[in-house]
Structure 1
């Protein structure tokens, strides 16, 4: 699931609440949280200090390691260096589960506040003028392109703010996209941008109202987003305490807000997996990127990386086990 929205809308807070809620369930979920925002605050929202957060290993700094592992012995990929952020898996590629032991997780995933967390890494001073943040987020796209999840398994991704999330094919990698929306015209304006892009690709956007004070706030959102309004989070002493450096157990979250988190979980649980469509979208964006810049950068025809007979899904895990 992806959490998106206007900067300052509370999407990072919501991503952290949902991740903590899932981790604290009576039957704890198989769970991975990923901070894919240019402003890296998910670790702090999960309960560690900013000083501790900057010490976490970053996906963006280990892209070569990620590519080398995922490539496996796929004969269509000449080298890890020839992989780009959109390279899809094929026969021989290594696939990932949400919760397993593998070199990527061992090197780059850390427990934070009871949640397994991976971070893309901040946009550093040395990147200014010479790097694109989407090259860092490309690590997340590669991971999700090679990930096979099942019932009761969750990946919670805090995306970068604004419509920037649509600068790559990453927005198609989710079963559910939750747009966190304050009851303001500016926040609603970001919603309109999102649905304009998302619906062209069949991506359903669910709106989560945030910082709700009263019924007039809910009515405002209903008037502007209609049936896309899934649920809402009321002003929260629990959240405010966490923002002031005094985090509480997730069980102390207000009952109405816990019910909203349950609604978010049930929405994700209700989405049927369409692995052929998921695979086809990955291939579509890979071919777009190959033609736009990938072929020139790599010196190869990256369309050749596509395995036309390959469809991602649980059946591929079974085949890999037998080999």
Structure 2
């Protein structure tokens, strides 16, 4: 299952993404984490040292390898260079699993803590300032997710950029569930409402996780504030001494998380597991975004990349 964490800046989405990934991995589930936030902090949140995090390869830095592998022998793609971030898989394309060995993963994916493999979009550098947008880097993440087939009990966990900026690319449609991390404040609720309004047009499945919940009044505030927004409150996470200690350089091992917060993560995972995967719809969404990009800016000739009869599945892999 593919799950994304979004929310206003400072809401705790990176923390929740890391905790979810670590909790799932602790049960033996295959986990691939992807950092698609402009602030590339997921590696450290998972438990990597800042030195290790700074030396990680990036998906954007190896996008040529990624394209060449995913292209396979798809006859609709004369070369890997013809692929763009929304290019959908077709007959002959290589689909990838959550955990496997392939040249693209070898180049850009690393196991940063036991059980969690991480891919990063890559941070801005001096050469990007004033001439590029961050979505040029998240395009590699988007392309990977469009070709990734995940089975039951496998998890792709993505830390997204803050707020509604995620809608500047098609990445927001790539998930079985998008979790809006929401503090019990009017500003945080406002971001949830904005995101839900944008997402409604595209049929994106949303849920809310309350964060920094101090008491029942905080949870009731969220429930009542979200009652007419059409988004369900799936779980609530309270203040965590374990997380604070980790943020100061202490032990981030998931076994130290408070039982009530661990239970909230398990409740979220149960909600995610209950969602039926719809591969024909997933491919239809991929194709629709590619068509939109081709017609808007990339060139109508790229419509020829669409294989009208192809639907990705575990069997194809």
- Over residues 126-162 of structure 1, what are the superposed CA-to-partner deviations in whole Å (9 max), with x where a residue is unaligned? 1011112111101111111111111011100000111
2:91 is the alignment partner of 1:91: yes
Q: CA deviation at 1:52?
A: 2.2
1:173-209 per-residue CA deviation (whole Å, 9 max, x = no partner) reads: 1011111001111111110111001111111211000
Q: TM-score, length-normalised on structure 2?
A: 0.96
Q: Work out the CA distance in 2 between the residues paired with 1:146 and 1:237.
A: 39
Match of 1:10 in 2: 12
For 1:24-173, list aligned pairs within 5 A.
Answer: 24-25=26-27, 28-114=28-114, 115-173=116-174
Q: Aligned partners of 2:311, 2:48: CA distance in 1, in Å?
A: 39
Shift of 1:315: 3.2
Gaps of 5+ in 1: 318-323
Partners of 2:209 and 2:237 within 8 A in 1: yes
Q: Deviations over 1:281-306 (max 9, x none)?
A: 000000100111111xxxx7000000
Q: Is the 8 A contact 2:5 2:179 kept in 1?
A: yes
CA positional deviation for 1:249:
2.3
1:202 aligned partner: 203
SS of residue in 2 equivalent to 1:301: helix
Query: Tell me, what secondary structure is at the counterpart of 1:231?
Result: strand
Quote the residue 2:316 is aligned against. Answer: 316
Rounded Cα–Cα distance in structure 2 between residues aligned with 1:186 and 1:205? 18
**Matched length:** 311
Runs of 4 or more consecutive aligned structure 1 residues displaced over 4 Å after TM superposition = none
Q: Distance in 1 between matches of 2:297 and 2:252?
A: 47
Residue 34 of structure 2 aligns to a residue in which SS?
A: strand
CA RMSD, Structure 1 to Structure 2 (Å) = 1.1
Q: 1:313, CA displacement in angstroms?
A: 1.4
2-side partners of 1:197 and 1:50: how far apart?
35
Instruction: String of CA shifts for 1:107-135, please: whole Å, max 9, x gaps.
Output: 11111122111111101121011112111
C-alpha distance in 2 between matches for 1:31 and 1:257: 20
Which shows bigger deviation, 167-176 or 9-18?
167-176
Structure 2: tracts of 5 or more residues without a match = none
Matching residue of 1:235: 239
Give the TM-score normalised by structure 1. 0.94
